[in-house]
Structures are given as C-alpha cells and as structure tokens.
C-alpha cells in the first residue's frame, strides 16, 4: 500500500471517529461561522431546541436568535470574540413550541490570523438528576433526589451512523470537514477523550489536559488506563458496564485525580461508539463541576480488562 493510500485510509478513519463524536454526542454540539451563523449542528442540540425534524430551521440562523436573553447573548459573543473560553454559562433557549429550555453553555472561539473564524458550542440541558440513576442496592452519600430528567433525556437520545452522514459529502468536502472537526475536538471549550475497549485513553483534547494538569505532558495521560484518573476506581468500572449495555452517562458527578495529586470535581457525559456492532470507543465529555460540593453516589464494581 502506498503512503498516499495509507494517509487517505487513516484520514477517513479519523473523520469517521470525529463525525461520530460530533453527531452522536449525548449533549448539544454546534459550530457557528465568523458572522454567528450556525453551519453545523448535532442531533442533541436539535432536540434541545425542538427542531430535530426541521434542522434547516436551526442551521443557517444565528445562535443568538435562540437566546431568551438578548443581553446575555451579546455578552457571550463579545467575550468569545475577545478570546475568552466560557464554561457553565446559565442560559435559557427558545424552543420550537414557544417555551424555553434551561441550559448550561460552554463556548470557545477559533481564531485565524487574530480574527474570530468560528465558534465552538457545547449545550447541556440543566438537569437535576444524573444517569446512572441511584441503585437502591448501592451505598449512597447524601440525598439522591429524583433521577427522572436525566433518564428521560438519555432515553430521547438517538444515534446516527457517521458513514451515512459522511455519504452526503463529496470527496473534495471531506478534508475540510476533517479539519473542522479536528479543530472542534482539540479546541473544544470542555474536556473530551476517547477510550478503547482495553480501557486505554486513545485521545484527549487540550481542555481536558489543562483541567487535570497534563497540558505539558500529554504522553503521561494519553495511552494510560482511564482508571488512573478516577479517585474512586469502582466508578469507572461501573460506567463502562453501563455503556456496553447501551445506557449513556448523563450529568454524572465524579472526582478525578489531577497530575499533582489534587482532586478535581467533574460532571461526566459519555456514550459508546459501535462499529459493525462491536465496541469501537467511548466518547466522553468532562466539565468542571458548577456545584462541586454536591454529594456523590458510589456505584457497583465492574471488571474492565486490566492494562496497568
């Protein structure tokens, strides 16, 4: 096989993985251009605004139009244009049925030659509960509360085959889409990583490395077992079992270990990528916890293949 063919095959595999990450994320993802117009959106953000059946009513409009608070929209856009990365911004978005949906927004800008070229948006519904929900057989610290809204959101999530999405692109458009998604992953406003079936971290973005103190030593993080970063090892074992069983991880609070030994309170969203019915990788999102004093549940254990 020629080097050019090998590169083409490698690029296609990366594009398939990144397109799956984008379109099937368990939270809203979208990209706006330099003028604020939405140019790409995933399934979850369309569900949040009630336009899953009418994506053309979302893509092509400015995201600011969907903010219930115009002043907040202006402030967010101005701060991003000034180079800020914003996290856990509380907002309300207008939906197709005339109501509003309370959300948390994380956002960062892509700059080319010092000018804002695109904006990367993460949008999460503001949920009270988490998924996995509390199991009555597990030890629980504090009041678990209800677990209905996270379960409802998890049940509403649908996955599309990334290959079907990419089939709509011409060969000339695919390199541009790969560049766009590579930038979206690496420059995302919150942490993202992929984990293989053996439990090893396949890839992690800059925001995650910074969150956990590995920004200067990526090789000490990528390629290591994901168990390494969890302060409670039972949690990561339980989460994989649930993912394999088809249950997404939604708004799940955990404590991760920083490189310096400190503990970082986070909120986890995660889903599973299958290829030809087989486990390919997880797509996991990490957010700095906006309520770091919240109580945690302790899940049951599950044995992930060890690769320590």
Distance CA 256, CA 131 (A): 18
Query: What's the start-to-end Cα distance of the chain, in Å?
Result: 34
Q: What pLDDT, on a 0 to 100 scale, did the predictor assign at position 302?
A: 38
Residue 92 has pLDDT above 90, yes or no: yes
Q: What pLDDT, on a 0 to 100 scale, did the predictor assign at position 294?
A: 67
| Pair of tokens at residue 54 | 């009418």
| Pair of tokens at residue 27 | 């939270």
Distance CA 156, CA 173 (A): 31
Q: What pLDDT, on a 0 to 100 scale, did the predictor assign at position 233?
A: 83
Q: What pLDDT, on a 0 to 100 scale, did the predictor assign at position 63?
A: 98
Which tens digit of pLDDT belongs to each residue from 136-175?
A: 444 333 344 445 899 899 999 988 999 999 999 999 999 9
Furthest C-alpha separation in the chain: 60
Contact 253, 289 (CB under 8 A): yes
What is the full DSSP assignment across 172-221?
THHHHHHHHHHHHHHT-SSEEEEE-TTSBEEEE-HHHHHHTT-TT-GGGT
Q: What is the sign, positive or negative, of the torsion defined by CA atoms of 51, 207, 196, 291?
A: negative
Q: Where in the chain is the domain with CATH 3.30.450.20?
A: 3-156, 190-308
Residue 78 has pLDDT above 70, yes or no: yes
> Which CATH number among 2.40.50.140, 3.40.50.300, 3.40.718.10, 3.30.450.20 corresponds to the domain 190-308?
3.30.450.20
Please indicate whether residue 235 or residue 157 has the higher confidence score (pLDDT). 157
Q: What pLDDT, on a 0 to 100 scale, did the predictor assign at position 150?
A: 92
Residue 271 has pLDDT above 50, yes or no: yes
Q: Are strands 249-257 and 201-204 parallel, antiparallel or unpaired?
A: unpaired
Q: Residue 294's closest CA among 239, 251, 240?
A: 251
Count Cβ atoms within 10 A of the Cβ of residue 96 and give its class: 0-12 exposed, 13-18 middle, 19 or more buried.
middle
Distance CA 213, CA 227 (A): 16
Q: What is the mean pLDDT of residues 111-133?
A: 94
Q: What pLDDT, on a 0 to 100 scale, did the predictor assign at position 20?
A: 97
Q: What is the mean pLDDT of residues 100-124?
A: 98
Q: What pLDDT, on a 0 to 100 scale, did the predictor assign at position 232?
A: 87
Confidence grade of residue 104 (pLDDT, cut at 50, 70, 90): very high
How would you label 117-138 residue by residue, b for 16+ Cβ within 10 Å and e otherwise?
A: ebbbbbbbbebebbbbbbeeee
Q: What is the mean pLDDT of residues 83-94?
A: 98
Q: Residue 79's closest CA among 27, 42, 116, 40?
A: 116
- The 10 Å Cβ neighbour count of residue 7 is 10
Q: What is the mean pLDDT of residues 108-129?
A: 97
- Cut 0.75: pTM above it: yes
The residues near 271 (Cβ < 8 Å, ≥ 6 apart) are 24, 25, 26, 157, 159, 243, 248, 249, 282, 283
Please indicate whether residue 153 or residue 235 has the higher confidence score (pLDDT). 153
Q: What pLDDT, on a 0 to 100 scale, did the predictor assign at position 141?
A: 39
Question: Peptide bond before 132: cis, by omega within 30 degrees of 0?
Answer: yes
Over its C-alpha atoms, the chain yields an Rg (Å, rounded) of 19
Q: What pLDDT, on a 0 to 100 scale, did the predictor assign at position 2?
A: 58
Q: Residue 102's closest CA among 124, 132, 126?
A: 126
Distance CA 98, CA 281 (A): 38
Q: What pLDDT, on a 0 to 100 scale, did the predictor assign at position 147?
A: 53
Q: Residue 130's closest CA among 25, 269, 264, 261?
A: 269
Task: Using a pLDDT cut of 70, give the percent of the chain over it.
Answer: 87
Distance CA 300, CA 135 (A): 9
Which tens digit of pLDDT belongs to each residue from 27-65?
A: 999 999 999 999 999 999 999 999 999 999 999 999 999
Q: What pLDDT, on a 0 to 100 scale, did the predictor assign at position 140?
A: 39
Please indicate whether residue 212 or residue 145 has the higher confidence score (pLDDT). 212
What does the mean pLDDT of the chain come to?
A: 89
Residue 177 has pLDDT above 60, yes or no: yes
Task: Using a pLDDT cut of 90, give the percent of the chain over it.
Answer: 74
Confidence grade of residue 278 (pLDDT, cut at 50, 70, 90): confident
Q: Is 3-156 in CATH node 3.30.450.20?
A: yes
Residue 125 has pLDDT above 80, yes or no: yes
Residue 110 has pLDDT above 80, yes or no: yes
Residue 281 has pLDDT above 50, yes or no: yes
Q: What pLDDT, on a 0 to 100 scale, did the predictor assign at position 276?
A: 82
């Amino acid at each position: 096989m020629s080097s050019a063919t090998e590169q083409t095959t490698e690029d296609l595999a990366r594009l398939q993985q990144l397109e799956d990450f984008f379109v099937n994320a368990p939270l809203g993802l979208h990209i706006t251009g330099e003028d604020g117009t939405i140019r790409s959106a995933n399934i979850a953000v369309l569900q949040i605004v009630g336009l899953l059946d009418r994506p053309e009513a979302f893509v092509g409009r400015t995201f600011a139009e969907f903010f219930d608070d115009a002043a907040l929209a202006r402030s967010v856009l101005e701060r991003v244009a000034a180079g800020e990365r914003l996290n856990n911004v509380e907002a309300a978005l207008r939906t197709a049925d005339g109501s509003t949906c309370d959300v948390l927004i994380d956002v960062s800008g892509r700059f080319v030659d010092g000018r804002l070229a695109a904006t990367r948006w993460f949008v999460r519904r503001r949920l009270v509960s988490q998924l996995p929900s509390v199991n009555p057989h597990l030890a629980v610290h504090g009041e678990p509360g209800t677990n209905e809204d996270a379960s409802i959101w998890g049940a509403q999530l649908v996955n599309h085959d990334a290959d079907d999405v990419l089939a709509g692109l011409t060969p000339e458009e695919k390199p541009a889409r790969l560049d766009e998604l590579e930038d979206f992953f690496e420059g995302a406003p919150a942490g993202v990583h992929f984990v293989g079936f053996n439990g090893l971290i396949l890839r992690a973005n800059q925001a995650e490395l910074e969150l956990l103190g590995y920004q200067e030593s990526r090789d000490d993080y990528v390629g290591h077992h994901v168990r390494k970063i969890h302060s409670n090892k039972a949690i990561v074992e339980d989460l994989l079992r649930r993912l394999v069983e088809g249950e997404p991880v939604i708004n799940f609070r955990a404590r991760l270990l920083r490189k310096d030994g400190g503990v970082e309170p986070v909120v986890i969203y995660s889903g599973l990528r299958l290829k030809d019915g087989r486990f390919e990788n997880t797509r996991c999102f990490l957010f700095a916890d906006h309520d770091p004093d919240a109580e945690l549940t302790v899940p049951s254990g599950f044995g992930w293949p060890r690769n320590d």
